[in-house]
C-alpha cells in the first residue's frame, strides 16, 4: 500500500470509499447523507485543495483518503476534519488511517495546528482502535434514536411551551449557564462567552419555522430550554442543539418533559429520528441521553500535540553531543 498526494483525479474513487463507509443498510439508526454517491462526490470535490490531502492506494485501487482543511487565516492552532474528509475501505482500516495520518500530521504541525480532531462512525471499531493507538481520545459523541423508541417515562409536559422573541433576555442566562457548566470537572472546557453570537443564534432559531425552541417556566422565570432543528448530516432527522436545565431545577423531570414535547413536534413533521451531540466527559448529558434510548452513531476524536515540538525538534543534531 502506498500513500500519495490527493488530486482531482482521485475524486471519484474517494467518493466511492466515502459513500460506502456512510451507507447505512439498516433502519435502526438514521442514514448519513454521505451514503449517497452524488452527495459524497460533491463533498470530496469541495474538500480537495482545502488543506493537506492524501490517498491510500493498494495495487492501483484507492482504499482510503484523508484531507485536513487548514484555517483560511494563519494563526488558529486547531485542524478539524469533518465527516467528508476521511474514509477507508474495511479491508484496509488500520494501515490506511495510520499511514495517511502520518503523512499529513507533519504538515499540520508545520502550519501551527497542534490540535487535531476528526469524526468516525461508531460502527467501525477497528478505525477507533487505529486512532486510539495514535494517541487520539474521544471528545464528542453523536447519538441517535428512532422517534418511536424515545424513552420519556412519561412526564408531565404542562409547563413546556414554545419560546417567543419575548423570552430572549431570559434564555440568554440559561445559554451562559450551559457554557459555564462545561468549564467544570470533569469536562474542563473553556467558557468562551460570546453573548452577541449566542443571542443571534437563539433569535434565529425562534424565528425559524423549521426549528423548535422550547422553554419551561415556573410563572416567574425560565427554568429550562431546548433548541432543535433539521439535522443536515442525517436523513429524516432532527438534531438537538442547546439543552439546559438550570442547576436548582435539575432532577425534576424538566429535561424529559421538553424531550417528550420535541418528539411529538418531530413526529408531526415526519421526522423518523432524533439526534444529539454531547461531550463525552459530561456525566449528566451522557446518562440522560443514553437512558432515553440514544445510542452512539459517531465519535469525534481529538489529539493535542505539545506545541513545543515545532521548535524543539529543530535543535542541534546528534553530532553536537559528545559523551564524556
Q: What is the pLDDT of residues 9-46, one digit of tens each?
A: 999 999 999 999 998 766 678 999 999 999 999 999 99
Asked if residue 311 has pLDDT above 60, the reply is no
Cβ(235)–Cβ(33) under 8 Å?
yes
Q: Which three cell numbers stand for residue 251?
A: 432532577
Half-sphere exposure of 301 (CA within 13 A, CB side): 20
State the pLDDT confidence band at 56, using cuts at 50, 70 and 90: very high
Asked if residue 323 has pLDDT above 80, the reply is no
Residues 6+ apart with CB under 8 A from 294: 143, 144, 145, 274, 276
Asked if residue 317 has pLDDT above 90, the reply is no
Secondary structure element (H or E) that encloses residue 207, with its range: helix 195-207
Say which range, 143-152, 188-197, 290-299, has the weakest mean pLDDT.
188-197
Asked if residue 324 has pLDDT above 50, the reply is no
Asked if residue 313 has pLDDT above 60, the reply is no
Unique residue bearing C-alpha cell 452524488: 38
Asked if residue 312 has pLDDT above 60, the reply is no
CA 202 to chain centre: 20
**What would the mean pLDDT of 110-124 be, rounded to a whole number?**
93
pLDDT score recorded for residue 93: 97
Q: Left (φ > 0), alpha (ψ -120 to 50) or beta: where does 266 sit? A: alpha
Q: Which three cell numbers stand for residue 301?
A: 476524536
Secondary structure element (H or E) that encloses residue 9, with its range: none
Measured N-to-C along each axis, helices 125-132 and 93-110 cross at an angle, to the nearest 10 degrees, of 40
Tell me the per-residue pLDDT of 136-183, one tens digit each, with 9 for 90 and over. 999 999 999 999 898 877 666 678 999 999 999 999 999 999 989 988
Residues 6+ apart with CB under 8 A from 142: 119, 275, 276, 277, 296, 297, 298, 299, 300
Q: What is the pTM (predicted TM-score) of this model?
A: 0.91
Quick one: what percent of the chain has pLDDT higher than 70?
A: 91
What does the mean pLDDT of the chain come to? 91
CB under 8 A, 24+ apart: contacts of 42-46:
43/15, 43/18, 43/84, 44/11, 44/14, 44/15, 44/18, 44/84, 45/8, 45/11, 46/84
pLDDT score recorded for residue 308: 81
How do beta strands 295-304 and 273-279 pair?
unpaired
- Better pLDDT: 181 or 316: 181
Tell me the per-residue pLDDT of 196-239, one tens digit each, with 9 for 90 and over. 888 898 899 999 999 999 999 988 899 999 999 999 999 999 99
Asked if residue 321 has pLDDT above 50, the reply is no
Amino acid at each position: 500500500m502506498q500513500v500519495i498526494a490527493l488530486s482531482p483525479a482521485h475524486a471519484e474513487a474517494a467518493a466511492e470509499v466515502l459513500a460506502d463507509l456512510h451507507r447505512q443498510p439498516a433502519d435502526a439508526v438514521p442514514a448519513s447523507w454521505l451514503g449517497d454517491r452524488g452527495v459524497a462526490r460533491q463533498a470530496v470535490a469541495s474538500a480537495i485543495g482545502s488543506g493537506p490531502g492524501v490517498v491510500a492506494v493498494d495495487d492501483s485501487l484507492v482504499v482510503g483518503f484523508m484531507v485536513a482543511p487548514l484555517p483560511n487565516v494563519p494563526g488558529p492552532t486547531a485542524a478539524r476534519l469533518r465527516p467528508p474528509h476521511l474514509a477507508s475501505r474495511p479491508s484496509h482500516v488500520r494501515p490506511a488511517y495510520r499511514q495517511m495520518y502520518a503523512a499529513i500530521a507533519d504538515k499540520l504541525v508545520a502550519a501551527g495546528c497542534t490540535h487535531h480532531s476528526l469524526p468516525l462512525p461508531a460502527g467501525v471499531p477497528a478505525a477507533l482502535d487505529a486512532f486510539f493507538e495514535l494517541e487520539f481520545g474521544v471528545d464528542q459523541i453523536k447519538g441517535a434514536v428512532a422517534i418511536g423508541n424515545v424513552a420519556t417515562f412519561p412526564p408531565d409536559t404542562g409547563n413546556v411551551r414554545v419560546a417567543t422573541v419575548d423570552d430572549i433576555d431570559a434564555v440568554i442566562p440559561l445559554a451562559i449557564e450551559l457554557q459555564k457548566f462545561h468549564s467544570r470537572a470533569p469536562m474542563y472546557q473553556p467558557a468562551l462567552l460570546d453573548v452577541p453570537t449566542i443571542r443571534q443564534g437563539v433569535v434565529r432559531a425562534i424565528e425559524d419555522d423549521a426549528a423548535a425552541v422550547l422553554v419551561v417556566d415556573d410563572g416567574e422565570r425560565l427554568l429550562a430550554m431546548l433548541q432543535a432543528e433539521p439535522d443536515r448530516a442525517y436523513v429524516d432527522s432532527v438534531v438537538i442543539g442547546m439543552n439546559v436545565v438550570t442547576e436548582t431545577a435539575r432532577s425534576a423531570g424538566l429535561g424529559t418533559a421538553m424531550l417528550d414535547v420535541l418528539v411529538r413536534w418531530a413526529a408531526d413533521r415526519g421526522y423518523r429520528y432524533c439526534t444529539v451531540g454531547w461531550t463525552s466527559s459530561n456525566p449528566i448529558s451522557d446518562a440522560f441521553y443514553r437512558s432515553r434510548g440514544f445510542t452512539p452513531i459517531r465519535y469525534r476524536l481529538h489529539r493535542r500535540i505539545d506545541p513545543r515540538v515545532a521548535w524543539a525538534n529543530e535543535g542541534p543534531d546528534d553530532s553536537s553531543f559528545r559523551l564524556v
